[in-house]
Amino acid sequence: MTFGAIAAAASRLDGACPADVEMTSSSVAAEYIADTCLDDGPLGRVGLELEAHCYDPADPFRRPSWDEITAVLEWLSPMPGGSVVTVEPGGAVELSGPPVVGVLPAVEAMTRDQQVLRSAFAEAGLGLVFLGADPLRSPMRVNPGARYRAMERFFAASHSGAAGAAMMTSTASIQVNLDAGPQDGWASRVRLAHALGPTMIAIAANSPMLSGRFSGWVSSRQRVWGQMDSARCGPILGASGDDPGTDWARYALKAPVMMVRSPDADDTFAVTHYVPFADWVDGVVRLGGRRPTVADLQYHLTTLFPPVRPRRWLEIRYLDSVPDDVWPAVLFTLVTLLDDPAAADLAADAVEPVATAWDTAARVGLSDRRLYAAANRCVAVAARRAPPELSDSMQRLIGGVEQGRCPADDFSDRVIEHGLAPVVARLAQGWP
């Protein structure tokens, strides 16, 4: 089961609060959010989600259609590593792996699934490119799903229309899902997951271009997210960060409702005026002629995109999609710094000076001396714990970080030497 499937099953078993029951106040909603946001239990499971842009190597300026992409997926057999394959709004393809115990099994399973997916797209004359942002094409939605149509309308009606369109259709990430762990450690674990963000962004930055231009940022993906409404995409930490459940409840109630699903039809409509969820649940505003149900609240939570999102587990969303030769090491570094107690203590000390330097990390990456120092300390801590199977990937990551380079620098050098379209076409053909 994926982490999402586990959460859905748990929700169905929650008989104390049926999904179709209307909620009566923001205090009831806050209690529900706080009580269900994290699961008390041991650490150890790792779930991965990898996104890649879909390209036509023969014409990299062209965006493959929905029919072309789904035709490939229709012929796919079940993935050997258990991943589920989905298509993002702009045609990016996502592999979502099941939770497994340990980093190395997660890496091995995802690597097998990556190879199968690449082969299937290659047979169809298409290719997958692992970059944090689409460097060549303008934003365009190809997925016709009702959710994405509503998202598009919501962003078009807001002040973040351009950023919303780019976020939906031109960005790709590695998402890491980890157990929340024992309840008495939730606060420090969530704080560390946030504090690691800028350093890990600087290490993994891999999107120096967007829509055919150098953006001036090593992570254009993170720049796009930073241009979004902070009520939906900013960090969830409160002033102290001592109570993640309360912080998440406050964040979710303040965030505006993006869309509402019709209870009697397979349809979704965008909310094109600003309605905080608290106003809907308190009856200040009625959407669809009613107050929200538990199912509406659960759906609202899926439309919030903070860099660390509690979904019974921790969903870490701030990494750019990076190449095959380095993503296992990036993943191992992040998981080790969060799940190994001794490594976590060392990491917390290393990243404390740059714990809130989100924009600096996305703009200049390891060129910032404080981020450079934090990154080298963090990677060294992880490297001492890396298994032999990841030695090549870790050595490549260590070498880059020591030189103050991230994957974006390698991509930029290749584009300057060979040109953007040829480089993208080669990547889509599977060239290293």
- Domains identified in the chain and CATH numbers: 26-429 (3.30.590.20)
Whole-model pTM: value is 0.94
203 touches 375 (CB < 8 A): yes
16 vs 239, more confident: 239
Distance separating alpha carbons of residues 295 and 261, to the nearest angstrom: 9
160 vs 234, more confident: 234
pLDDT digits (tens, 9 = 90+) for 279-302: 999 999 999 899 999 999 999 999
253 touches 278 (CB < 8 A): yes
pLDDT of residue 188: 96
318 touches 175 (CB < 8 A): no
Interval 211-218 mean pLDDT: 97
Interval 170-186 mean pLDDT: 97
pLDDT of residue 9: 38
Q: Which residues contact 258 (CB under 8 A, 6 or more apart)?
A: 150, 151, 154, 232, 270, 271, 300, 303
The secondary element (H helix, E strand) that includes residue 35 is helix 26-36
pLDDT of residue 10: 39
pLDDT of residue 243: 93
Residue 17 has pLDDT above 70, yes or no: no
Q: Which residues contact 381 (CB under 8 A, 6 or more apart)?
A: 336, 337, 343, 346, 347, 350
Residue type, 296: D
Helix axes 327-339, 391-402, angle to 10 degrees: 90
9-18 long-range contacts (CB < 8 A, ≥24 apart) are 10/39, 10/312, 11/298, 17/294, 18/294
pLDDT digits (tens, 9 = 90+) for 233-282: 999 987 677 899 999 999 999 999 999 987 665 688 999 999 999 999 99
336 touches 345 (CB < 8 A): no
Question: Helix and strand tally (H, E) in the chain?
Answer: 19, 12
Residue type, 129: V
Residue 19 has pLDDT above 80, yes or no: no
Tokens of 202: 């600087």
pLDDT of residue 87: 98
Of the chain, the percentage scoring pLDDT greater than 70 comes to 95
pLDDT of residue 237: 84
Residue 118 has pLDDT above 80, yes or no: yes
Interval 184-211 mean pLDDT: 97
Report the chain's mean pLDDT, rounded to a whole number: 94
- What value, to the nearest 5°, has the Cα angle with vertex 68 and ends 47 and 418? 80
Pick from 15-29, 112-126, 409-423: least confident? 15-29
Alpha helices in 282-406, H assignment, sequence order? 294-302, 327-339, 341-351, 358-364, 369-383, 391-402
pLDDT of residue 113: 98
Interval 162-187 mean pLDDT: 97
pLDDT of residue 161: 86
pLDDT digits (tens, 9 = 90+) for 288-339: 899 999 999 999 999 999 999 999 999 999 999 999 999 999 999 999 999 9
Using DSSP, state whether 212 is helix, strand or coil.
coil
DSSP 99-133: PEESHHHHHHHHHHHHHHHHHHHHHTT-EEE--SB
Nearest to 158 by CA among 259, 292, 29, 48: 259
